[in-house]
A and B are shown apart, each in its own frame.
Chain A
Amino acid sequence: AQSVTQLGSHVSVSEGALVLLRCNYSSSVPPYLFWYVQYPNQGLQLLLKYTSAATLVKGINGFEAEFKKSETSFHLTKPSAHMSDAAEYFCAVGMNSGYSTLTFGKGTMLLVSP
């Protein structure tokens, strides 16, 4: 069975600082990996996805993530945080077999201070 671990339920950064949100997964087959963002009282919005093409994936709003098979990681980064980045971020993994279900991490709340 696949699983996702997001390190840190809350991450605080200053505006303009580097954002790093960590995600590790376990999967017995090459996975599909996703990052979603959720703003208050809204649904989840897809930020970016890895589907076995380039290991460095660029997403919306200046975010990117790097797939590292040896570390089973898919960390999300942004060079310079903006106040509007404050939200909850979810990492998810899907296996390339069976139904198209995703397993989500528990989420990381990103707090951005001026």
Chain B
Amino acid sequence: DVKVTQSSRYLVKRTGEKVFLECVQDMDHENMFWYRQDPGLGLRLIYFSYDVKMKEKGDIPEGYSVSREKKERFSLILESASTNQTSMYLCASSGTAAYEQYFGPGTRLTVT
């Protein structure tokens, strides 16, 4: 089974802090994705990566950056957390030319 793990299930940070969310997949997938999920808005793509050190902006990249130094790991960085970044963050991965994505359990981030 594909396994996608996220570093924290719940996280509370203060406004202005730098926040790191980490995601690891164990299926040697090329593609990795970061989404945020908010009630009534569904999933919105923040960034994705199709190879090591490669990244592409999604629909809502503002206020976020990403890092992919190793194939299995994809990090989401909030340079200076703000209260409007309080949300559920979901990581996913998929193989080459495959569209089905496999999701981690999510990190519920609260910024106070």
List A residues at the B interface (Cβ < 8 Å).
Answer: 9, 32, 34, 36, 41-46, 49, 51, 90, 94, 99-102, 104-107
Name the residue of chain A whose CB is nearest to the CB of B41.
A106
Contact between chains at A90 and B106 (CB < 8 Å) = no
Q: What would be 18 A-B contacts, judged by CB atoms less than 8 Å apart?
A: A9-B40, A34-B100, A36-B103, A42-B105, A43-B104, A44-B92, A46-B100, A46-B101, A46-B102, A49-B100, A99-B50, A100-B31, A100-B96, A101-B58, A102-B101, A104-B43, A105-B42, A106-B42
Complex Cα gap A46–B106 (Å): 15
Looking at the complex, which one of A99, A101, A104 makes contact with B42 (CB distance below 8 Å)?
Answer: A104
- Which residue of B4, B56, B101 has the most chain A CB atoms within 10 A of its CB atom? B101
* Nearest CB in chain A: distance from B7 CB, A: 14
Contact between chains at A106 and B99 (CB < 8 Å) = no
Extra contacts besides A43-B106, A44-B92, A49-B100 (12): CB < 8 Å: A41-B105, A43-B90, A43-B103, A44-B101, A46-B101, A46-B102, A90-B43, A94-B99, A99-B31, A100-B31, A105-B42, A107-B42
Collect the chain A residues with CB atoms within 8 Å of residue B102's CB: 46
Name the residue of chain B whose CB is nearest to the CB of A31.
B99
Chain B: number of interface residues, binned into ranges: 20 to 34
* Nearest CB in chain B: distance from A74 CB, A: 14
Name the residue of chain A whose CB is nearest to the CB of B108.
A41
Interfacial residues of chain B within 28-50, with CB under 8 A of chain A in the complex: 31, 33, 40-43, 45, 48, 50
- If the complex has contacts A90-B43, A106-B41, are A43 and B105 also in contact, measured as CB distance less than 8 A? yes
Contact between chains at A44 and B103 (CB < 8 Å) = yes
Collect the chain A residues with CB atoms within 8 Å of residue B9's CB: 41
* Nearest CB in chain B: distance from A59 CB, A: 12
Contact between chains at B33 and A101 (CB < 8 Å) = yes
